[in-house]
Structure 1
Amino acid sequence: MSEMQLLIGAFHVGPLLLSLALGIYIWRHFKGKPIGQTFSLFMFALSVWVIGTFLRTFTTSPEVYLFLSSVKHIGTGLAPVLFTVFAIYFAGRSDVVTPTLVLGLLVVPALSVIMILTSQTYGLFYQSISTVGLNGETVLQTASGIWYWVHGIYGWTLLAVGSTIIIYTGLQLGTEYRAQASLITAGIMVAWIVNLGYVIFEWPHPTVDPTPIGFAFTGLVIAVGIFSRDLFAVAPVSRSRVVDRIADIILVVDENEQVLDANETAEEILEQETVVGEPVDDVLPSQQQRAGKAIDAEDRDVVTIEGRVFREQEVPVTVDPHADSIVVLTDITEEVRAQEQLAQQNERLDAFASVVSHDLRNPLNVLSGSIELARETGEMKHLERGEKAIERMDEMIEDLLMLAREGQRISGVEPAPLSVVTKQAWGAVETGEASLQVETDRTIKADSSRLQQLFENLFRNAIEHGSADTVVVDTTQDGFYVADDGTGIDAEQKDHLFEMGYSTVSAGTGLGLSIVEAIATGHGWKITVDEGESGGAKFVFSDVELQQSEKQLIEE
């Protein structure tokens, strides 16, 4: 074997072994994944291309040369077809890949093989075959026919289509897929640019096809992509079109617990610069947080993120326990809130029954005794006591009905200026000599009528139970408060303050502050009780929804 033949062999054997090795590895490692197996077939097609190119340089027989050229061009014909199919899979349009499409794309390559084998008769692919000298060796050289250019233009067109699909897909997705698209496109383009130089400009020599050297670069780039980025683990847009529109957090996790893919919801809620490529334990909350708040005894996989509650499920992609899996976090915040509200309503119902059975029984007994005494003595003064008992029952029934209504979740809110609503509430309460100071002009989102009822009960509580002279309404960072300068609330009373039927005075129904709590809960607000600056009680409401303009002012 001459020195030139050894050099040509070196140029071909390396790319051949690399493409074969990659093809076998991808086929075995990504078994059952069309995107990986299609690319594996593409690498095998490149191997056929290299084999045909390599072997035909060692023959001077036109018949053998044409046969080996047909082998070569089976590879050159299959490679762009398979690359285009791979690009379609990469874009998530597996529905487009049909037998009809694939057979249609193979028509030109099949005709090319026929044209090559019949070149000596018709001259459509090769017009002629002649011998030339190359560094002292005799080799065959061809003159291109019309179908040669049809074959070439067809392959380059498919390459352009496939590359465009991959680049466009990468731009539509996250940085991880852009990196994938860049690797694939760069690797393929180098080989095809080298091929264009050979076909159009006969570089470096009409009888020496340098395309295999370009394929060597292609194989190296793709090898880097496979081993560093798990290149074919997921077909991107297939999940993009569906998964990105799902409100759940969806993470694709490999066997090493590393995130391969994440939908837009995950990126928005998790609020991390990079989700893809990170260990799943770094992306999701810690085990202490994840053990958190279960809504039933069997629900242990609950995650709390930014105040929202998610149920975590892990779904295997295949039956193989070591294969990739999908972690799905479903937002169950509303479900948890509904169950909490149901629990509160049940507690309220129990307390309601207790008030009806116990607290109403007392004025009923008074009324019954008053009527009996009036009947026995004939004195009407006993009926006056009974009349007061009736008024007491009427007041309790009215409060109970109001409490039942306020216990329901607020469904519609509107802009409610605190200064306006508080003054309306103040005017509806017997305030005596007490005064109201409204030190805010903030507007919140609330049910105005229920908000007024909340203030009426707080004002009535401050004046009737706390003997307040001044009541102040002002705002906090995320809400408002009502404070008074009355007698305040003992530490022992705080624990029972919002219990239904609890009152510090005998004349009270014990329902006023329960109504306040029910209205706040219905709006989704939190309520706390502190000691005011003047020594009285201070009721603070937080998590209050503000008017948009108010939010902007606070943020500024």
Structure 2
Amino acid sequence: MTWQYTPEILPYVGVLFLSMLLAGGLAVYTVVAWADAMNEPGVRAFVGLNVGCSLWAGAYAMQLLSATIPTKLAWLTVAFIGSVLVALSCFSFAIAYSGNEQLLSRRTVCVLAIEPAVAFVLFTTEYRNLYTQRVDTVVVSDLVMIERTFGPIGLVHILYLYGLLVISAGFLLRTIYRSDRVYRVQAGAVLLSIFVPLLANVIWFLNLGPMGNLDFTPVAFVVSGLVYAVAISRHHLLDIVPVARTAVVENMRDGFLVIDETNRIRDANAAVRSHGSPDGLESIVGRDITAVFPEVSPIIRGDSPTDHTEIVVEGENRSRSFDVQVQRLSNDDRFRLLLLRDVTEQHAVEQRYQALIENTSDLITVLDGSGLVRYQSPSVTNVLGYDPSALADRAYVEFVHPADRDRIVATFHDNLDRSDTIERAEYRIRDADGEWRDVETVGRNLLDDPFVEGVVLNTRDVTERKRREREIRRKNDQLEEFAGVVSHDLRNPLTIAQGYLEAARDAVDCEYHDDIEFAHDRIETIIEDVLVLAREGQAIGETDRVDVERVVERAWAHVDTEGASLTVAADRPIVADEDRLLQLLENLFRNSVEHGGSEDGESAVHVRVETVADGFIVEDDGPGIPVDDRRDVLEYGHTTTDTGTGFGLAIVSRIAEGHGWSIRVGESDDGGARFEFAIDDSVLADSVDGPASVDR
């Protein structure tokens, strides 16, 4: 391989190698420093751009130093690859930088690579004459220089690469026009790094270069490399790449305004323009901010003690509230940024919750750590007769009944050390008339919550419920006394009659003895049901969360099911007296078994228990209950069989009534009996981990 050089060409070749090293160094630095961002199109394109510059500059330097046509053509092939990589990478970088990454699909890149691929094949094969019609050498200043005449494909290829660079410049110019200062500096640097090499290449293409038309395009890459280095180090070129303004700013729900030192609007997004003027951007930009939004005058002119305020803007249909913040732009003290956050809906929610608190029948009280009232909801006036302001800063415990006071104080102090705990308590509290009211309070320790900083009490007046409970206990006491009389006065003569029946069996053979024994058994069953009804039917003890599936299984095991089957679908517990619920289910199961199934015993009844949103359901696939009888089946003594007492479903009704549940008798999907128990929301427990379904 023959090499050539002269004193005139050595500085130029040195600059070419310097450009190669600078561009290659930027490529390596980017790969190392932004290794985690190499999947970003903009970063990949920036690396490709600098690799192409390095190849182009180095190959052109080697072409100048070589003396034979084959060697020069080989290096020109490498330079060809570098120039194509530069144009495609520059185009991709400009597209990604301007926020149009969606245009850089794999299909788009393949289409853009078609022309360079065709030109490269023609440039390196026997069809070279379509790319370059003539290749020769000339001697200029003792140097052998290559001289070419481009064919039609060569001209198309060069114009194609120019077109990509021009389009790239167009995207960058649009970014400069739409971006703020920091992005304009970035985009301007990238545009300069494209424009300088492009101008040098146009001079070469028009055959205006010195010394046999030297191509100064690779030399111009030194300028590009220096510009890139400054843009990366000082303006964070690869750290903050602008996204198209319409993709973010224009679609922001919050509004922003940029004003200058004369309070003139320089920029505004759609959220502001829609409230400031119906004519759009042109009618706002350039106007005085105090003329468009006079409400912000105090904060703009510095009369407000803070740079944060709230304004109300009257619109065509309704007024809207905005939270306004003012801050200076960090990159230019002449401009200020106004952020307008629409808080209209937030205020509507606050007003809605305020209305709920003020109109609820429950009392909302907030206490501090020492038990003093810091907030009392207005509902205290309707419930207890106090003015809320009269309770402020008073000790809550002074309104509690003396007999309950120590217990409530102890509960309060026990929970001060446990954040976000929930406690329930029942006690008596004095109203404005000096009367004692029974209340139930759910307390939650939110002292550590910065938005509350107190113990929140949710109190409900249960005076009427307690009165009913006391009345029920009084009636139950009376029923218990009645049950004792029934048990003693009826069982004694029944026992005597049963003894005489046994004596009669031994003495006389009579066909009526069995009928008499059956009658005695019926009397005994009636006595047992009456005792259950009187003593336990409506007496409800302590209630708690009850696992429905477990109680159903226990009740099913206590009943002679005679081959019947059971399905349980329970997705939540309920709050009930477990013993009374067990008895209720036993009676329902017994009713289904006795009345369901076929008379010949060939088919047994299937019973299904399911929890629903507002209660639970017990149903079967038996013959069902006629419509005319559904109102009466829960009454005492109603039965449709000769052996029934008519107390089974009456006991179910009393137990439900004792819990405060309502019953609806209906028809199941299979035509059987269906009992729906509607439970009040206050005794519905939260749903458990998931639904459970069990077949028996």
Between Structure 1 and Structure 2, the one with more helix by share is 1
Structure of greater relative contact order (alpha carbons < 8 Å, 6+ residues apart): 1
**TM-score in terms of structure 2 length:** 0.39
**TM-score in terms of structure 1 length:** 0.48
